[in-house]
């Protein structure tokens, strides 16, 4: 991973550099203690991960990220700060940061956040490649090649492990999500038919009931992940799944609804959930 660090405190920059390099987390493509200069450099270098301080004299971290994301929308941003105000943290997430870390920097914490981000970036890149290949080939190509070496029971265990982390393992719809995903993984449905209605029709005598159970289970997962985010933005499950299985903007809306600030919560994207769920399982 290409990493760029912005902080007006050079001691902090050196500390983060040591953490990244000692742990083999990526390549430091640049550092800067002046946020105005750093903005031009970072936009030119296009790092996959940007680490930026919140309080800087030239340009504050939130404004920095907002401008940086206009040029590098796919880059992931980690913000570090001594300030831990919920409003400021919320504003930072609104402007495009992926994670917020409180100072003083903890080696274990920043290491884990970068590892989780790297996994997320890799997952998104793999999905993008699959979509490009399918788009080029155009027609009767399986969305996923069956993994002949994987034992079905082992694959099911991986699905259940993820459901357990999401707090939905006991939901009736989870068994049906597994059935739907396995159907796709074995090449019985191509990219063009990866729709819940079509898949449910293939696998159930009562497709509408199946759809409802699947939607209910995924909605429950959205609610649980939002609650985890409210308790701790750095919760490992929240970090790993809030922007892969779900749309982060919708997770944030769900969080606002739970807090009582919005009358309606977030919405689920079933296609994204299933696409990325399969990719995560195949990468485990």
The percentage of residues in the chain with a pLDDT greater than 70, rounded to a whole number, is 85
Contact of 56 with 25, CB cutoff 8 Å: no
- Confidence class of residue 110 from pLDDT cuts 50, 70 and 90? confident
pTM of the model as a whole:
0.55
d(CA 52, CA 8): 9
Ranges of CATH 3.40.50.2300 domains, the chain:
2-118
Contact of 59 with 66, CB cutoff 8 Å: no
Instruction: Name which of 9, 216, 15 is nearest 105 in CA terms.
Output: 15
Average pLDDT over residues 28-54: 92
> Per the CATH hierarchy, to which homologous superfamily does domain 2-118 belong?
Response regulator (3.40.50.2300)
Contact of 240 with 214, CB cutoff 8 Å: no
Q: Is the peptide bond before 191 cis (omega within 30 degrees of 0)?
A: no
CA distances from 210 to 66, 153, 156, 277 (A): 41, 22, 19, 18
Phi/psi of residue 98, each to 5°? -100, -35
4 sits in which H/E element: strand 2-6
Average pLDDT over residues 2-8: 93
The percentage of residues in the chain with a pLDDT greater than 90, rounded to a whole number, is 19
The contacts of residue 243 (CB under 8 Å, 6+ apart) are 98, 120, 251
Q: Are strands 27-32 and 2-6 parallel, antiparallel or unpaired?
A: parallel
pLDDT in tens, 190-248: 544 456 666 666 666 677 887 888 889 999 999 999 898 888 777 788 888 888 888 88
pLDDT in tens, 150-193: 467 788 888 888 988 898 888 888 888 888 887 777 665 454 44
- Contacts of range 222-225, beta carbons closer than 8 Å, 24 or more positions apart: 222/246, 222/250, 222/251, 222/254, 222/265, 222/266, 222/268, 223/254, 223/258, 223/265, 224/166, 224/167, 224/168, 225/166, 225/251, 225/254
The contacts of residue 283 (CB under 8 Å, 6+ apart) are 122, 123, 126
């Amino acid at each position: 991973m290409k990493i760029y660090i912005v902080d007006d405190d050079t001691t902090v920059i050196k500390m983060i550099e040591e953490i990244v390099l000692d742990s083999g987390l990526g390549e430091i493509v640049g550092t800067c203690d002046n946020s105005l200069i750093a903005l031009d450099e970072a936009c030119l270098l296009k790092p996959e991960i940007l680490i930026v301080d919140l309080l800087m004299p030239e340009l504050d971290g939130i404004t920095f990220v907002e401008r940086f994301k206009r040029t590098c929308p796919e880059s992931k941003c980690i913000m570090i700060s001594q300030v831990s105000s919920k409003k400021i943290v919320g504003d930072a997430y609104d402007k495009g940061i992926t994670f917020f870390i409180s100072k003083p920097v903890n080696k274990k914490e920043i290491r884990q956040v970068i590892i989780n981000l790297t996994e997320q970036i890799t997952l998104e890149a793999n999905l993008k490649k699959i979509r490009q290949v399918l788009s080029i080939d155009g027609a009767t190509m399986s969305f996923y090649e069956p993994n002949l070496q994987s034992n079905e029971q082992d694959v099911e265990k991986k699905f259940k492990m993820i459901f357990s982390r999401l707090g939905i393992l006991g939901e009736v719809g989870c068994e049906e999500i597994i059935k739907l995903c396995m159907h796709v993984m074995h090449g019985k449905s191509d990219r063009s038919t990866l729709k819940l209605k079509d898949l449910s029709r293939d696998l159930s005598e009562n497709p509408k009931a199946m759809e409802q159970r699947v939607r209910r289970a995924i909605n429950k997962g959205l609610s649980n992940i939002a609650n985890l985010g409210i308790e701790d933005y750095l919760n490992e499950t929240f970090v790993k799944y809030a922007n892969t299985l779900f749309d982060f903007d919708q997770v944030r809306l769900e969080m606002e609804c739970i807090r009582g600030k919005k009358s309606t919560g977030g919405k689920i994207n079933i296609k994204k959930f299933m696409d990325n769920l399969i990719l995560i399982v195949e990468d485990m």
